[in-house]
């Protein structure tokens, strides 16, 4: 979130501030509030089957000409977690998504959407040579829910 705030202060882009820092495992979908207990139960059961694992952040990257992000080093464990989330969504929740032809590219967005092309190139000049490295333990899955203005953590599901 500090990086997102820094981007806002540098170029005025605040789109990324409308969600907590996260790695997307499943694209956004619509879900009826009265069916939330099924969603929570399915995510809780899934989280129980996944052990906590390490996430390594390594440098910055971009999707030209609008998105700058912290690159997440892909790992077999992260890919398996993503695949299990998608499998659960299809089998238990009956959500059907088109196959993402871009593949899985885990990242943490720090600027996007409202970033104009000139701002993007200014920002990318700043970040493209900058080194960044961090790691943390992924200990939960978070369900984000849009409140009409921003994405909030609706509920977290602890990995065991």
CA dihedral (156, 69, 130, 74) positive or negative:
positive
pTM for the full predicted model = 0.93
pLDDT tens, residue by residue, 69-109 = 999 999 999 999 999 999 999 999 999 876 665 689 999 99
Quick check: 54 and 101 in contact, CB under 8 A? no
Long-range Cβ contact pairs of 114-120 (< 8 A, separation 24 or more):
114/13, 114/14, 114/15, 115/11, 115/13, 115/15, 115/66, 115/67, 115/68, 117/65, 117/66, 119/11, 119/12, 119/13, 120/62, 120/64, 120/65, 120/66, 120/68
pLDDT tens per residue across span 12-24:
899 999 999 999 9
Tell me: domain 2-158, CATH 3.90.1140.10, correct? Answer: yes
- Which range, of 48-52, 81-85, 112-116, 138-142, averages the lowest pLDDT? 112-116
Q: How far apart are CA 91 and CA 126, in angstroms?
A: 44
């Amino acid at each position: 979130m500090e990086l997102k705030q820094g981007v806002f202060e540098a170029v005025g882009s605040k789109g990324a501030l409308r969600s907590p820092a996260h790695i997307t495992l499943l694209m956004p979908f619509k879900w009826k509030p009265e069916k939330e207990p099924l969603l929570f139960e399915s995510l809780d059961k899934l989280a129980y089957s996944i052990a906590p694992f390490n996430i390594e952040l390594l440098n910055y990257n971009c999707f030209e000409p609008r998105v700058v992000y912290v690159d997440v080093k892909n790992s077999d464990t992260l890919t398996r977690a993503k695949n299990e989330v998608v499998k659960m969504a299809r089998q238990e929740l009956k959500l059907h998504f088109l196959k993402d032809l871009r593949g899985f590219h885990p990242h943490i967005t720090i600027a996007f959407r409202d970033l104009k092309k000139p701002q993007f190139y200014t920002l990318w000049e700043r970040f493209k040579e900058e080194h960044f490295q961090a790691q943390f333990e992924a200990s939960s899955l978070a369900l984000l829910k849009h409140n009409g203005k921003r994405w909030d953590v609706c509920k977290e599901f602890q990995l065991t």
